[in-house]
Amino acid sequence: MISFENLSFAYSPGRQTLRNVNLEIAEGELCLLVGPTGAGKSTLLGCVNGLVPHFTGGTLTGRVVVDGRDTRKYQPQDLADVVGYVGQDPLKSFVTDIVADEIAYAMEQLGISPAAMRKRIEETLDLMGIAQLRERPLAELSGGQQQRVAIAAVLAAQPQILVLDEPTSALDPTAAQDVLSAISMLVHEVGMTVVLAEHRLERVMHAADSMIWLPGTGAAEYGKPAQLLRHTSVIPPLAALARIAEWEDVPLSVRDARRRIQTGQPVLQLAQSSTSTPPSDTPALQANKITVRYGNTLAVNGVDLALEPGTVTAFMGRNGAGKSSLLWALAGGIPSTGRLSVAGHDPREMTPDASRTLITLVPQTAADLLYLPTVADELAQADKESAAEPGTALAILQSLGIELTPEQDPRDLSEGQRLALALAIQLTARPAVVLLDEPTRGLDYSAKDHLTQIVKELQLAGKAVAISTHDVEFAAAASTRVVLMADGDIIADGDTRTVVTSSPAYSPQMAKVFAPFDVITPSEVAIRLDGEVPAGTKGNPRPNDGQVAS
């Protein structure tokens, strides 16, 4: 269906993004595209419908043939009836303002008769399960609905191939699941060929037929996910488990892994329990009855909270549960009512300059904090605005384990580097409380591991850290305490191990694989299939010894 023949591509001469890619994707396949940030995933996806190089520019050698059409001869618009392309952020791709018009757009461009159009719109709406949304304004839909409309909008032209570039990166887990199940339905029920790039492999790899691995060198490797994941540098939790257990192939679902655990004889070695009781000295932040309202909507409903120094608290819950609003309110960034005290001061009553020496926040789009042309300028500005010794911000950045070229433009950095830069700038003011709003969005596995390290450093330095996140695996690895929120209220609050293993929705894959043992990260697991038990390393079954669902 799609064949890459000797494909090489460079945006600028001398720096090849893709080198000698030779592979073929068969009809009806769900092919996962995996690689670290900057390895050329988007470039390879763009090659499929001709956006690369017709839209992006650059030099392409070799051939890409899609359903018999050579992309050198066909412009992206001439491939619209063969390939449907869906980007990361649905809102940025909408041309019209009503769902039905958006779906009709591609057909209007292809000159399909109004009667046929009408019929296809209805079929597409039903296929994606969004018939009730027909006349709704696009801006009012939830993220998952928007992405489904975006997929419907390309499906209406009846392509045989669907190309999706991280379609879930802007969505919360429920919406992401919604979109991914729609995609897997298209593969299994409609027989479409799908090429999908996705950061969070754990949620799609069980459905994939094949995988393309881009290690970042320009090469590409094609194969079965279970084999490829053995040696990729992108390591979802189950792949990490397979490496520890020295299994020959990677289990692609929790069920696979659980079966193997039961047939083999697992020995668990729980790492030193990090669930130490929170130090009972004075909290770094004390909040009582914090309430945030937007017009008539109650975003945070009278929350009481204390953050102790040297702890990492993860705030979890679905979109709109009030996590971000709470963090912004704690930082004094949005109006709120209730009592708030950071080292005896209320950040809401202080100037922005003064409050950031007590408490700081890195927003979801870290780029919003950056505005100068080079990294060096940003760091110098950070020293100046925090009245710190010149070089402080740079030293902090280096202590986070990040080396950046001073002349680089912050906008050219990867998501992870940008986040670290923003964090270093905010830490220059030496605050005791550090808040991170959705820092894992758009990070690949290695960047996420790095962030985990950074968070641990902050914890050791005695900061009180709070993170809002959707990423269960990250929360399990990085936090000491988890606060679950729903509808503006805190519905669960406790140490990470207890909270994440007792709730099926928020339990990491390792907890599901090893239930009833409360393992939460692969690093805690040591398995020998020969059944020999090293002394004193037996795992502890959970007290309730029950099923996963509590």
Partner 1 sequence: MKPTVLHPWAWWLWALCLGGVAGFTTNPLLLAWLALAVSTVTIMRRVDAPWARSVRAYFILAATVIVIRVFFQVLLGGSSGHTVLFVLPQIPLPEWAAGITLGGSVTLEPLLYSIYDAMRLAVILLCFGCANSLSSPRQALRSVPAALYEISVAIVIALSVAPQLIESIQRVAKARRLRGHSTKKLRGLIGLVIPVLGDAIDRSISLAASMQSRGFASRRGKRSAAALALMVSAAMLATFGVFLLLGTTWLALAVLCLIAGLLGVIAGMRLAGRRLQVTRFNPPTWSGREWLVAASGLLALANAIIFSGIQPGIYNPGTDPAIWPTLTLPALAPLVTGILVLIPTAPVRLQAPDAAVLVGRQRPLRPSLAAAMEGATTPAPSRVANSRVPKNGVLTQVGQ
Give the nearer residue to partner 1 in terms of CB position, either 105 or 222: 105
Tokens of 147: 């992405």
Distance CA 250, CA 71 (A): 35
* Cis before 516 (ω within 30): yes
Q: Which of residues 447-476 bind partner 1 (CB under 8 A)?
A: none
Q: Tell me how many residues contact partner 1 (CB under 8 A).
A: 96
Q: Which of residues 234-293 bind partner 1 (CB under 8 A)?
A: none
Per-residue x/- track, 128-167, partner 1 (CB under 8 A): ----xxxxxx-xx-x--x-------xx--x----------
Instruction: Single out the residue of 3, 20, 158, 174 in contact with partner 1 (rule: CB under 8 A).
Output: 174
Pair type for strands 285-294 and 297-307: antiparallel
* Spatial CB neighbours of 285, under 8 Å, sequence gap ≥ 6: 305, 306, 307, 330, 340, 341, 342, 359, 433, 464
Please report whether residue 429 would count as binding partner 1 according to CB under 8 A: yes
φ and ψ at residue 374, rounded to 5 degrees = -130, 160
How crowded is residue 524: how many other Cβ atoms within 10 Å of its Cβ? 23
Q: Which of residues 285-304 bind partner 1 (CB under 8 A)?
A: 296-297
> Closest Cα partner for 478 from 496, 501, 491?
496
Least separation in angstroms between residue 336's CB and partner 1 is 14
DSSP 541: B
Distance CA 283, CA 454 (A): 22
Least separation in angstroms between residue 526's CB and partner 1 is 29
Q: Which of residues 495-534 bind partner 1 (CB under 8 A)?
A: 503-505
Residues recorded for the chain: 550
Least separation in angstroms between residue 194's CB and partner 1 is 15
The answer to whether 466 and 290 have CB atoms below 8 angstroms apart is: no
Give the nearer residue to partner 1 in terms of CB position, either 86 or 525: 86
Instruction: Single out the residue of 5, 101, 249, 493 in contact with partner 1 (rule: CB under 8 A).
Output: 101
Instruction: Single out the residue of 487, 498, 528, 542 in contact with partner 1 (rule: CB under 8 A).
Output: 487
Please report whether residue 57 would count as binding partner 1 according to CB under 8 A: no
Least separation in angstroms between residue 38's CB and partner 1 is 17
Distance CA 207, CA 223 (A): 14
Least separation in angstroms between residue 429's CB and partner 1 is 7
DSSP 489: E
Q: Which of residues 381-420 bind partner 1 (CB under 8 A)?
A: 385-386, 411
Q: Strand, coil or helix: what is 13?
A: coil
Please report whether residue 126 would count as binding partner 1 according to CB under 8 A: no
Q: Which stretch binds partner 1 (CB under 8 A): 33-41, 266-274, 275-283, 318-326?
A: 318-326
Q: Strand, coil or helix: what is 66?
A: strand
Cα-Cα-Cα-Cα dihedral sign, residues 326, 449, 508, 471 = positive
Give the nearer residue to partner 1 in terms of CB position, either 27 or 97: 97
Per-residue x/- track, 70-99, partner 1 (CB under 8 A): -----xxxxxxx-xxx-x-x--xxxxxxx-
Least separation in angstroms between residue 299's CB and partner 1 is 10
φ and ψ at residue 189, rounded to 5 degrees = -95, -35
Per-residue x/- track, 192-231, partner 1 (CB under 8 A): ----------------------------------------
Distance CA 123, CA 138 (A): 19
Q: Which of residues 344-373 bind partner 1 (CB under 8 A)?
A: 351-353, 355-356, 360-363, 365, 367-371
Please report whether residue 123 would count as binding partner 1 according to CB under 8 A: no
Least separation in angstroms between residue 497's CB and partner 1 is 17
Least separation in angstroms between residue 248's CB and partner 1 is 31
Tokens of 535: 């002394």
Distance CA 237, CA 254 (A): 10
- Amino acid (1-letter code) at residue 283: P
